[in-house]
Structure 1
Amino acid sequence: MIKKIAAALLLSCSAAAVLAVPMGSQSVLVVEDGTGKILLEKNATDVVPIASLTKLMTAMVVLDSKLDMNEQISIDRQDVDMLKHSTSRVPVGATLSRGEVLQLALMSSDNRAAASLARTFPGGPERFKAAVNAKIRALGMTQTRIDEPTGLSPNNTSTATDLVKMATAAAAYPTITQYTTDTREVINIKGRGVEYHNTNRLVGAKGWDIGLSKTGYTEEAGRCLIMRIKAAGKNATIILLNARANSARIMDALNIRRLITGDGGRATLARATRSAPTSLIKASAGRMTKGKSAAKANNYRKKAAPTKKPRRRRAN
């Protein structure tokens, strides 16, 4: 009986800790690596679009094929995004090694780079898709569907629970962990050096020890993030899906890091300056201040505006 009461108290304390960490992302899952212990969970089994998180699967399938990473690949017009018309800093006609193309797909989340990896896969896009489906089955991702290599299609869907499996598998590839945690790289594009950056601004930020990272965004998927981090001697995998803004996604990551380190409570902007890039915090603070000012202005206008009598509708 005492054991049952203790277990109930522990469960209630855990629930309270979870409730004390508000999340802006619609689906959240934080799992302690090694033990599989769930540290935080919110809508983890909801099937949702995953955007460019797809590229981790693309990378695994390419690396599994043991293709020559030094082989030169030319970006083709077929690689241009005709679905979302997203931009790319890799021009058609540029020739890079497969390794550089893979790095751009992972670090800078370039869609043309990811598309070219599928196009140049032995047997073409159809064989690539078959290899992806086989990998999904091998990882036991029963709630996952991936139709193409970039994540631009809203048909690429999964759950936070399945994505932990994908993140765990991806972390076993040294090439993926290296490329997803590179902060920047200068690559020769048509005879000139072009600098590319990681899409996750937390990579390389002071106080962050990140072992794997991948961001994602489409209108349907919202802001998404996969990260494996080390904090306070603990290793954890973080899945964030469908945050409405980049600032919300970053604040979720900050709050989760504080939860893991035992700092507790919601991360305020003042406290967060110790863990995130200054530019990021200033941007978030600016948005919040702007929002408050706008709200005050709206309240003032409402008070100042004369009350209008409701217009009568004519009977038909």
Structure 2
Amino acid sequence: MTLKRIICKTLILLLIFSLIPVSVYANSAQCAIVMEVKTGRILYAKNINTKRPMASTTKIMTALVAMENRDLESIVKIPDEAVGVEGSSIYLRNDEKIKLKDLLYGLMLRSGNDSAVAIAHHVSGSVEEFSNLMNKKAKELGAKNSNFKNPHGLHHKDHYTTAYDLALITRAALLNENFKKIVSSKRWTAERDGYNTFFNKNKTLTQFKGGDGVKTGYTKAAGRCLVTSATRNGMQVLCVVLNDPNWFNDCYSLMGNTFNKYAPYKVLDKNSDIKGFSVNKGQKDKSYMRVKKDIIIPIKDDEKSKVRTIIECNEKYEAPIERSQKLGKAKVYIDDKLIATADLYSREDIDKKTFMDKIKNLFKKD
């Protein structure tokens, strides 16, 4: 074969591979998902309902449950059970006193298994009771195919999740500002003697443009598990890969491909009147509903014409009506698939007509 033919064949192969979506050939994960954080829209999926052990990505739920049940400034007295826990550690000492906030940084940046046990005892009194709280929260979030037996992710045959469930859990956590701040931190200095500087193990923060989370995980049984997140152009996406030998590169490819294909699209503006309604027995006959936040969804260019908004509300309401009173709901669809839901609120106070108002109206009519 001549050199010219070899070069031609090579160029052809390179062209073919360049046309294949990154997510098709780069993903070696057993299970994977990409989800947009604000809406929860799934942008990529592979075996997302397959149950798998998830190693230390468990700690995403641990942190979320802790934040929702205890003050971050609360002081934790370290119990015997949290000292010398197997695996990653922040080297807690028996009877040491440390803020929950510092334990959470140790949990999420250094993946401290001892920190996880200390948090569980602080919140619930035991690992078992804390695991019950984790399972309760999972059900609330719709993570129906998950079961937690511990707060750290060390292997247990009945400890598992799915890529979809873990994405739901991570999304809920990223909507918590404290969690979001912790996982996006590259380092943290705790208020304690000894080992007090925690550097983040998650390379996404430095290797991927816009990277801002979330958590690594590995055990022999689970394989390499990774949850990453990144924000570009005001749109945050998260990626979960389970049992993936090429964990970081696959997450980068999947998120990069997502940012190339999807862009944020404002459907409803918080400063705009969305829907008018009549007012019965009010000092005003008509008013308008608004959303409290801009409703922005991720879409591809060819989906703009498929976006539609359905308003669910009454045509008439009776006074008095308070400003920010919930009156209806807006549902945003792409074709027939529900993408986002938002409550609609009154934009103003409308008092009920008084007797004098009625008299004035009579004279106006004359």
Say whether the fold is shared (TM-score over 0.5).
yes
Code of the residue aligned with 2:236 in structure 1: it is N
Checking the alignment, whether the CA contact within 8 Å between 1:75 and 1:95 is kept in structure 2 is yes
- Distance in 1 separating the partners of 2:102 and 2:154: 21
Partner residue in 2 for 1:55:
59
Counterpart of 2:47 in structure 1 is 43
Q: In 2, Cα distance between the equivalents of 1:106 and 1:52? A: 9
**CA offsets 1:39-87 (integer angstroms, 9 cap, x no match):** 322221110001111111111211221x2322322333311466xx314
Query: Structure 1 stretch 162-171 or stretch 26-35: which is displaced more?
Result: 26-35
Residue 240 (structure 1) shift:
0.9
Greater Rg by CA: 2
Does 1 or 2 have the higher relative contact order (CA < 8 Å, sep 6+)? 1
Name the CA shift for 1:133/1:253 in 2 (closer, same or farther; >3 Å): closer
Q: Distance in 1 between matches of 2:50 and 2:185?
A: 31
SS at 1:239 equivalent? strand
Matches within 5 A, 1:84-123: 85-93=86-94, 94-123=96-125
Return closer, same or farther for 1:98/1:28 CA change in 2, 3 Å cut-off.
Answer: same
Q: How many residues are treated as equivalent by the alignment?
A: 241
C-alpha contact (below 8 Å) 1:52/1:150 kept by paired residues: yes
User: In structure 2, what is the Cα distance between the partners aligned to 1:176 and 1:35?
Assistant: 18
Counterpart Cα distance in 1 of 2:134 and 2:51: 18
Give the residue type in structure 2 aligned to 1:75: I
Can you list the C-alpha shifts for 1:4-47, whole angstroms capped at 9, x where unaligned?
Answer: xxxxxxxxxxx953664321222111123445443322221110
8 Å CA contact 1:50–1:241 kept in 2: the answer is yes
| Pair 1:57–1:258, CA change in 2 (3 A) | closer
Matches within 5 A, 1:206-245: 208-231=209-232, 234-244=235-245
1:54 counterpart SS class: helix
Inter-partner Cα distance in structure 1 for 2:208 and 2:65: 32
Q: Which structure's residues are more often helix, by fraction?
A: 1
Distance 1:79 1:259 in 2: 41
Per-residue deviation, 1:208: 2.2
Measure, in 2, the Cα distance between the counterparts of 1:143 and 1:186. Answer: 37
Percent identity over the alignment is 25
| Inter-CA distance 232–17: structure 2 relative to 1 (3 Å threshold) | farther
SS of alignment partner, residue 226 of structure 2: strand
Point out the structure with the larger strand share: 2
Aligned equivalent of 1:186: 189
CA distance in 2, matches of 1:152, 1:238: 22
Partner of 1:125: 127
**Gaps spanning 5+ residues in structure 2: where?**
1-18, 262-366
- Choose the corresponding residue for 2:180, options 168, 177, 180: 177
Structure 2 match to 1:165: 168
Alignment RMSD: 2.4
Change (3 A) 1:43 1:105: same
Matches within 5 A, 1:133-144: 133-144=135-146
2:29 is aligned to 25
Q: Secondary structure of the equivalent of 2:35?
A: strand
CA distance in 2, matches of 1:34, 1:166: 13
| Residue of structure 2 aligned with 1:148, choices 147, 150, 153 | 150
State the distance in 1 between where 2:211 and 2:256 align: 15
Secondary structure, aligned partner of 1:243: coil
Q: Which amino acid aligns with 1:215?
A: T
Partner Cα distance (2:58, 2:119) in 1: 13
Please tell me whether the aligned partners of residues 31 and 37 of structure 1 are also in contact (alpha carbons under 8 angstroms): yes
1:194-205 mapped onto 2 (5 Å cutoff)? 194-203=196-205, 205=206
Asked if the contact 1:75/1:113 (under 8 Å) is kept, the reply is no
SS at match of 2:253: helix
Q: Give the 3-state SS of the residue equivalent to 1:151 in structure 2.
A: coil
Query: C-alpha distance in 2, partners of 1:127/1:19?
Result: 40
Asked whether the equivalents of residues 231 and 260 of structure 1 are also in contact (C-alpha less than 8 Å), the reply is no
| 17-26 vs 126-135, greater mean Cα deviation | 17-26
Contact 2:49 / 2:164 at 8 angstroms: preserved in 1?
Answer: yes
Q: State the secondary structure of the residue aligned to 2:241.
A: strand
Deviation at 1:164, TM superposition (A): 1.4
For 2:135 and 2:125, locate their aligned partners in 1 and report how far apart those are by CA, in whole Å. 15
**Aligned partner (choices 75, 79, 83) of residue 76 of structure 1:** 79
Please state whether the residue corresponding to 2:190 is helix, strand or coil. strand
CA distance in 1, matches of 2:233, 2:258: 7
- Residue of 247, 250, 253 corresponding to 2:248: 250
Report deviation, 1:206. 5.8
Runs (5+) with no aligned partner, structure 1: 1-14, 264-316
Report if the CA contact (8 A) 2:48-2:163 is conserved: yes
Contact kept, 8 Å, 1:144 with 1:157, in 2: the verdict is yes
- What TM-score, normalized by structure 2, do the two folds share? 0.60
Q: Could you list the per-position Cα deviations for residues 145-185 of structure 1 after superposition, in whole angstroms to 9, with x for gaps in the alignment?
A: 00111111333211111111111111121111111111011
Letter of the 2:172 partner, please give it. Answer: A
Shift of 1:255: 1.3
> In the TM superposition, what whole-angstrom CA distance separates every residue of 1:207-249 from its partner, at most 9, and x where no partner exists?
52234411111111111111221235543221111123xxx11
After TM superposition, the score normalised by the length of structure 1 is 0.69
Partner of residue 361, structure 2:
none
| 3-state secondary structure, aligned to 1:55 | helix
SS in 2 for 1:213: strand
